Structure 1
Amino acid sequence: MRKKLTLLAAGIAAAFSLAACGAGGSAPASTNAASLDPAKPATLKVGASPVPHAKILEFINENLAPKAGLKLDIKEIEDYQTPNTALSDGSLDANFYQHLPWFEDQVKTKGYKFDHGAGVHIEPYAAFSDKAKSIADIKDGAKVAITNDPSNQVRALKVLQNAGLLKDIKDDSSILSLADAQNPKKLKFSENQPELLVNDLHDPSVDLALINGNFILKAGLSTKSALAVESVQNNPYANFLAWRQDEKGDARIAKLEELLHSPEVKAFIQKEWPNGDVTPAF
């Protein structure tokens, strides 16, 4: 069951963007797993980005959850702020959309009391252009559209560095304070919300756009046509399931965390996105 969830407040999507995540985590300890009864499935309300997250949850809901005594009420959410806001206020039981750098920044700046599971999949960041056919075609002074989300700007900058367009990018670098020595081609950066970067790609004034994986998929793009793609090797941006700390011991969440890391889900991801636009992290 997939439903749209509207923004909790006007302009919330403009405040921050991206999501994302990865890395190690663990399911909440569950002492009452036996209470999940296939004859009377327990409902779990989960917020997720439409693609690939909600699609993965839908596969679980149709193929794995019934036998596990679980029923997922999937809420599709377009922006990156609402899922955590809704999780914090109890509107959601869990969310599935973010990676560790984003999660840690949200917990630190918003004071959320959250825990998270292990990485499920990675969506590589990528650079696209409607003008250039290769990175070599990117000229000095080119305009580059990039996310305004601090936790992902460095990620995007490293894609550019690996493509040979920038140098000496450090984890705490800001696109607003790059020295000329780090930016030898004097690229001009234009910040925007991550969900709007696909629109920027088609802006005649933009030469290159760095786009988040879930928005690549939503726009019908593929990393096969990208000019530069983030490596999935040792990638810290695997997306995972998150829940409130006060839900420790919730058998529903523990079961979903288990199912998200099942061989069936891994096979589904590999079959659905064989070109690596979504790559299992387990």
Structure 2
Amino acid sequence: MLRRTLLISALASTLALAVPAHAATKTLKVGVTAGLHAEILRQALPIAKKNGLDIKVIEFQDYVSPNEALSHGDLDANIFQTLSYFELLNKQRNYGLAAVGKTITAPLTFYSKKWKSFSEIPTGARIAIPNDPSTEGRALYVLQEAGIIKLKPSAGRTGTPLDIISNPKKLKIVELDPAQTPRAIDDLDAAAVNGNYAYISGLSKTRKGILVEKPTANYINYIVVREKDKNADWVKTLVKSYQDPSVRAYINKSYKGNVIANF
């Protein structure tokens, strides 16, 4: 009996050595804005699970809280912001964060219920733009590219209404919280709406934009982590899971060109 027990123990040990041990699943808290970013990340969850990551999706309604939460250690990563926005806010507020992987682009679009094109908009019309430091300049740059206004050369893509040096239509620029811009088209002549808010409000599904931003690398969204974590194995796994071909296929099928997969 003793010999049999020893043989069974030896066999069990041999089998244990022959079967590779899987690393324990790591749980991550990942912050996203509600809508596009939340939907797309959820498509990556089964892939991440197979790769050893259990992701808890934390949704936010604004652009400030996800970076604050990440910098304070309440999140492990966030996925919601363009490279332009990230670089500006990370520097201004000394967050100590790092952009580690490309995700999507959702073009900034001007919508209107009153006019079918920007050329129809009358002199003195009221136009809403997002008031956050990056997107405000982004919206003004779109207007400049369309020949509607002209900005100081130094303004680049981070200008404010104070940088407008030519405004032939005498447009009145109304600065609003990004989340409020979709509602502005009920009262104003037009509004510049970020892609995620256009999707949440149904604008991108039901209404054609009267002016759409040209694609640019500045406005690709990124996966962001704390600087100290950027080379961690789990970060590489998170990026790989998000950038899986099945996630790209979901984006292409679901958003029909209103959202672009940049990976």
Question: TM-score range with shorter-chain normalisation?
Answer: 0.7 to 0.9
The residue number in structure 2 matching 1:100 is 83
Shift of 1:137: 1.1
* Structure 1 segments unaligned to the other structure (5+ residues): 1-33
- The aligned length equals 240
Shift of 1:36: 6.3
User: Normalization by structure 1: what TM-score?
Assistant: 0.80
Pair 1:71-2:54 in alignment: yes
Specify whether residues 35 and 246 from structure 1 end up closer, same or farther in structure 2 by C-alpha distance, changes over 3 A only: farther
The residue number in structure 2 matching 1:20 is none
CA distance in 2, matches of 1:241, 1:36: 26
Correspondence for 1:43 among 27, 38, 57: 27
- The aligned runs of 1:262-277 (5 Å cut-off) are 262-274=244-256, 276-277=257-258
Pair 1:250-2:232 in alignment: yes
CA distance in 2, matches of 1:261, 1:246: 22
Counting aligned pairs with the same residue, the percent is: 37
The residue number in structure 2 matching 1:195 is 179
CA distance in 1, matches of 2:151, 2:130: 20
CA distance in 1, matches of 2:53, 2:109: 36
Q: Quick check: 1:36–1:251 contact (8 Å CA) kept in 2?
A: no
User: Normalization by structure 2: what TM-score?
Assistant: 0.85
Correspondence for 1:152 among 135, 142, 145: 135
Shift of 1:168: 4.8
Shift of 1:210: 0.5
Pair 1:91-2:74 in alignment: yes
The residue number in structure 2 matching 1:140 is 123
CA distance in 1, matches of 2:22, 2:189: 53
CA distance in 2, matches of 1:52, 1:145: 22
Specify whether residues 69 and 143 from structure 1 end up closer, same or farther in structure 2 by C-alpha distance, changes over 3 A only: same
RMSD value over aligned CA atoms? 1.9
Q: Quick check: 1:126–1:228 contact (8 Å CA) kept in 2?
A: yes
Q: What secondary structure, in the 3-state scheme, does the structure 2 residue paired with 1:222 have?
A: helix
Q: Which has the higher strand share?
A: 2
Specify whether residues 165 and 55 from structure 1 end up closer, same or farther in structure 2 by C-alpha distance, changes over 3 A only: same
The residue number in structure 2 matching 1:23 is none
The residue number in structure 1 matching 2:259 is 278
CA distance in 1, matches of 2:116, 2:236: 46
Pair 1:227-2:246 in alignment: no
Pair 1:166-2:166 in alignment: no
Specify whether residues 185 and 132 from structure 1 end up closer, same or farther in structure 2 by C-alpha distance, changes over 3 A only: same
Deviation digits for residues 118-177 of structure 1 (CA, Å, limit 9, x no counterpart): 321100000001111111210111111111112112211122223332235641532134
